[in-house]
Amino acid sequence: MQASYVHGAHSLPLIGDTVGVHLDRIAERYPDRDALVIPHQCVRWSWRQLRERADRLAAGLLGVGLDPGDRIGIWSQNRAEWVLTQFATAKAGLVMVNINPAYRRAELEYALAKVGCRALILAPGFKSSDYLGMLRDLVPELDGAAPGELRSAKLPELRHVIRLGHESTPGMLDFDTVAQCATPADMARLHDVARTLQFDDPVNIQFTSGTTGAPKGATLTHHNILNNGFFIGEAMRLTERDRLCIPVPLYHCFGMVLGNLACMTHGAAMVYPGEGFDAGAVLATVQAERCTALHGVPTMFIALLDHPEFASFDLGSLRTGIMAGSPCPMEVMQRVIRQMHMDEITIAYGMTETSPVSFQTSVDDPLACRVGTVGRIHPHLEVKIVDADGRVVPRGDTGELLTRGYSVMLGYWGDDERTREAIDAAGWMHTGDLATLDADGYCRIVGRAKDMVIRGGENIYPREVEEFLYRHPKVLDVQCVGVPDPKYGEELCACIVLRPGEHADADEIRAFCQGQIAHYKIPRYIRFVDGFPMTVTGKIQKFMLRKEAADELGLHT
């Protein structure tokens, strides 16, 4: 019997650098090649220029009073300042905390407080979100504070707020000024700090929710994300001649690791087509910049293919890229290969806690493997599939996927109990995903043990939304499930039991959510029910609830 265990033995060693040191190496190797191209910001920086700007920003951050180990949040759409912050914080020994651009006030407060952010870099706003307004509502002391001397009742650790844009706001530093004010002494300190940093130091915190409630801060090291980015790029066969179009959000591992770090470790160009996803802008940017690679979730590729002017764009430069976030329909993959020239597109699978990628298809895998599987194990990692008793199952049998190796996070920030629940004594990360391994080592994800809903590449954790809806005074009980959707793959459905004598409608429930939780977490469907299907032991049968909801709504795959 062949066991469901694989390890990624590989001839290429792991990289023993910090992110900052490796950026320096790449800038020395490819000084004049394009590093960052953002047409809407008129940015076209070489690797030498990007390193110089990152160094000045890193020194400036130390100069305003931040110290290695301090947490600094970034709440912004895809912009040059985001990638500068990513590399500058790594060089300064700071821990960058990714804040989802869709977050609202309550989520922002939780994230900043949970990890004790000392500083926050934010854009003025994005789409319908007024970031400045939300922060000033949360921290009214800002208006009367001198920059760098904030004292907030709700966020006692927060001292510095740094804003993007050309205008100024009371109590806040201007982003450009931070770098411009870096002194020779600040630069000298930066060089001293660089000599003390270790690749196992934390460099990034990303919030990921769980079925037990509030979001958790997955804490990742230089070693975690630098090596994952490198081997992701290797799977795509990236070189310094490649130009990767990155329309996926940078706050997520997809943008900052599969995008930015895959490029940085290979000297390839990072190309941002816009602040958020826009199909027309992506197509125009690929054509204008002769991009050779493109990332996206399946819904993005569908939007590109269905764009009314798709046929007018020359996409002949494309070769590879990554489709991830949710399963890819065979028809979509065939169209991407045939109509977008992406013969070498790959599929990747992972989770934030594993930096993120554990499995990836190769550029020459058969089409069936690039649709029906998530590929084979990444280099230097181990995976086993286990049953409910923790025993490794035979190849082909379904069980929970566990990952071990360099990519596993340090833990959840400030939450030892949840860390121990996720990472066992032998170092295995329990993913909660149900999977199989075939005889050739290809992995299939067949279910989600924790009922996570994936809406167009965004992970929605029902318990988090349920706990928020419990705050509504009319809600007695609530269960959220995913139901089929032709565009997003899944949509969230909230099944609500109202308190006796109360009446409510769907609009009232949605209005309660507006501005408090991210838009993609607001349930598309709301059912009012008398109760939930239960086992004889009183456990809610979510699979039955999903079926009932889909039947009632007429939604079927």
Question: What CATH number should be reported for the domain holding residue 91?
Answer: 3.40.50.980
**Shared domain check, 436 and 310:** yes
- Least Cα distance to 333 among 291, 360, 303, 371 occurs for 371
**Shared domain check, 170 and 217:** no
* Final residue before a domain boundary, out of 149, 169, 198: 198
**556 exposed, middle or buried (CB, 10 Å; 0-12, 13-18, 19+)?**
exposed
- Least Cα distance to 453 among 211, 102, 104, 111 occurs for 211
Exposure string (b/e) for 453-474, b if CB count within 10 Å is 16 or more?
bbbbbbbbbbbbbbebbeebee
pLDDT digits over 218-258, tens only?
Answer: 999 999 999 999 999 999 999 999 999 999 999 999 999 99
More confident residue, 263 or 127: 263
- Least Cα distance to 79 among 121, 46, 112, 48 occurs for 121
Structure confidence at residue 84 (pLDDT): 98
pLDDT at 16 over 70: yes
Are 175 and 119 in contact by the 8 Å Cβ rule? The answer is no
Across 310-337, average pLDDT:
90
* Confidence class for position 430, pLDDT limits 50, 70, 90: very high
Evaluate whether residue 511 is within a structural domain.
yes
Structure confidence at residue 449 (pLDDT): 67
**Shared domain check, 237 and 194:** no
**Shared domain check, 285 and 394:** yes
Structure confidence at residue 467 (pLDDT): 76
**Which two three-digit tokens encode residue 304?**
């590109």
**Shared domain check, 500 and 359:** no
> Rounded to 5 degrees, what are φ and ψ at 292?
-100, -10
Structure confidence at residue 116 (pLDDT): 98
With a pLDDT cut of 90, the percent of the chain lying above it is 82
- 0.75 exceeded by pTM: yes
- Least Cα distance to 209 among 26, 315, 323, 352 occurs for 352
Across 210-222, average pLDDT:
79
* Final residue before a domain boundary, out of 198, 222, 241: 198
Structure confidence at residue 110 (pLDDT): 94
Are 261 and 252 in contact by the 8 Å Cβ rule? The answer is no
Q: Count H helices and E strands in the chain, helices first.
A: 18, 27
* Confidence class for position 86, pLDDT limits 50, 70, 90: very high
- Least Cα distance to 466 among 447, 446, 451 occurs for 451
Domain of 245: which CATH number? Answer: 3.40.50.12780
More confident residue, 4 or 211: 4
**Given strand 429-437, what is the order of strands in its sheet?**
5-7, 381-386, 399-405, 429-437, 443-448
* Confidence class for position 213, pLDDT limits 50, 70, 90: low
**Shared domain check, 479 and 431:** no
pLDDT digits over 44-85, tens only?
Answer: 999 999 999 999 999 999 999 999 999 999 999 999 999 999
pLDDT at 372 over 90: no
pLDDT at 446 over 80: no
Cis geometry, peptide bond prior to residue 101 (ω within 30 degrees of 0): no
Are 302 and 332 in contact by the 8 Å Cβ rule? The answer is yes
Please count the other Cβ atoms lying within 10 Å of the Cβ belonging to residue 306. Answer: 10
Evaluate whether residue 342 is within a structural domain.
yes
pLDDT at 420 over 80: yes
pLDDT at 215 over 80: yes
Evaluate whether residue 376 is within a structural domain.
yes
> H-helix or E-strand containing 137?
helix 131-138
Evaluate whether residue 154 is within a structural domain.
yes
- Spatial distance between the Cα atoms of 52 and 31, rounded to a whole number of angstroms: 11
More confident residue, 297 or 443: 443
Structure confidence at residue 556 (pLDDT): 75
Exposure string (b/e) for 108-138, b if CB count within 10 Å is 16 or more?
bbebbebbebbbbbbbbbbeebebbebbbeb
Structure confidence at residue 536 (pLDDT): 45
* Final residue before a domain boundary, out of 448, 469, 493: 448
* Amino acid, res. 131: Y
Structure confidence at residue 50 (pLDDT): 98
Across 496-515, average pLDDT:
94
Across 258-287, average pLDDT:
98
* Confidence class for position 463, pLDDT limits 50, 70, 90: confident
Overall domain count for the chain: 3
The whole-chain average pLDDT of the chain stands at: 93
**Shared domain check, 364 and 408:** yes
* Amino acid, res. 466: E
> Can you say how many angstroms the Cα of residue 456 is from the centroid of all Cα atoms in its chain?
13
- Spatial distance between the Cα atoms of 76 and 251, rounded to a whole number of angstroms: 8
* Confidence class for position 211, pLDDT limits 50, 70, 90: very low
* Confidence class for position 122, pLDDT limits 50, 70, 90: very high
Structure confidence at residue 434 (pLDDT): 83
**Shared domain check, 254 and 163:** no
* Confidence class for position 557, pLDDT limits 50, 70, 90: low
Evaluate whether residue 453 is within a structural domain.
no
With a pLDDT cut of 70, the percent of the chain lying above it is 97
Across 316-344, average pLDDT:
90
pLDDT at 325 over 80: no
Sign for the pseudo-dihedral over CA of 511, 207, 460, 299: positive
Q: Tell me, what DSSP letter sits at residue 522?
A: S
> Can you say how many angstroms the Cα of residue 195 is from the centroid of all Cα atoms in its chain?
29
Angle at 516 between CA 500 and CA 299, to 5 degrees: 105
Least-confidence region, from 235-249, 414-428, 446-460: 446-460
Structure confidence at residue 102 (pLDDT): 87
**Shared domain check, 285 and 261:** yes
**Shared domain check, 244 and 172:** no
Structural domain boundaries enclosing 72? 19-198
Structure confidence at residue 460 (pLDDT): 81
Evaluate whether residue 216 is within a structural domain.
yes
Least-confidence region, from 18-32, 216-230, 273-287, 534-548: 534-548
* Confidence class for position 321, pLDDT limits 50, 70, 90: very high
Evaluate whether residue 532 is within a structural domain.
yes
Evaluate whether residue 207 is within a structural domain.
no
- Spatial distance between the Cα atoms of 479 and 475, rounded to a whole number of angstroms: 11
**Shared domain check, 465 and 441:** no
Structure confidence at residue 447 (pLDDT): 64
* C-alpha dihedral (445, 448, 452, 454), degrees to nearest 10: 20
**Shared domain check, 392 and 497:** no
User: Which residues are CB-contacts of 368 (< 8 A; sequence separation ≥ 6)?
Assistant: none
* Confidence class for position 464, pLDDT limits 50, 70, 90: confident
